[in-house]
Amino acid sequence: MPSETIGGSRGGLRAARRPAFLHLLRAFIAVSEREFSKFLHQRSRFLAALMRPLLWLVIVAVGFEAAYDGPGSYGDYMLPGLLGIVLLFHGMQSALSMVYEREMGMMRLLLSAPLPRAYILFCKLAAISLLATAQAYLFLGLAAFFGVGIGVSGWLYLLPALLVGGAMLGALGLAISVYVRQLENFAGLMNFVIFPMFFLSSALYPLSRFAAAEAGYLGMMALFNPFTHLVELLRVASQGRFDAFGYGLMAGCTILFFLIARAGYDPERGIFHRR
């Protein structure tokens, strides 16, 4: 009898865990489908996500080619930075979407679902990362059409690098959305975040150029910029190599930004309590 009771209780636990897992999986799929559907229905945003880095590649890369003295072409050097800018702009656009949904009341409705708040934010973050990675691969295909490409191993090694980079910048966007009260204030803040992160990095030029220009302080600031390390991670991955330090740093930044967002979207302490 005791063994039958123990066996029955274990079976009941397994049966209870299975629906719970399916419930979490359904929630993840629903949030991801919503993010993808919303993005695909915004055609201007879809085209801008591809045309923005493409203009940098076909215009800026040509203009800077004569001044570049590194290995390969300047377009090859610039490609990882442009993949990073795809992820960066998508992360900030997702933050803008979060602010809009909060003002419209949709975010409150989503966070009131009978699921852990952290898990709902995780679903949002995972969907942001997946969508950013898909955009990056589309741009990578366009770049190859214009003669700037990488090997097959680079395409494979880039997948985890793009996913963790998209997650890091998506978490940063979630954290920023906590402290933006109104939609009108977001455009200025987005420019304040995007352009310093992009230009204070190795996306367009090696960090050694700062020292050559006697601006070593800018090089030091770039070293504290997580986007710099993301670009270098993408650069190493595009060459078919693995960068353990880069992955560890991206994971640490992702966790930090996510915890900030999690605390901000807590109704007891965060934005919903303040409003």
List of residues 6+ apart from 75 with CB closer than 8 A: 57, 61, 65, 143, 146, 147, 148
pLDDT on residue 67: 72
Nearest to 49, CA basis, from 95, 86, 91, 98 = 86
Structure tokens belonging to residue 191:
């420019």
Phi, psi (deg, nearest 5) at residue 200: -90, 55
Q: What is the mean pLDDT of residues 186-211?
A: 81
Nearest to 110, CA basis, from 22, 34, 38, 176 = 34
Q: What is the pLDDT of residues 254-268, one digit of tens each?
A: 999 999 988 877 654
For helices 226-238 and 186-199, the axis angle rounded to 10 degrees is 60
Nearest to 53, CA basis, from 216, 194, 239, 185 = 194
pLDDT on residue 167: 94
Evaluate if residue 143 carries a pLDDT over 60: yes
Cβ burial of 143 (10 Å; 0-12, 13-18, 19+) is buried
Evaluate if residue 147 carries a pLDDT over 80: yes
The mean pLDDT value of the chain amounts to: 80
CB 272 within 8 Å of CB 251 = no
Q: CA-CA distance, 60 to 66, in Å (whole number)? A: 11
- Domain limits, the chain: 43-274
pLDDT on residue 6: 45
pTM, two decimals, is 0.83
Q: CA-CA distance, 63 to 146, in Å (whole number)? A: 15
pLDDT on residue 16: 41
Q: End-to-end CA distance of the chain, in Å?
A: 57
Which 3-state string (H, E, C) describes 24-42? HHHHHHHHHHHHHHHHHHC
Look up residue 255 and give its amino acid: I
CB 174 within 8 Å of CB 117 = no
pLDDT on residue 184: 67
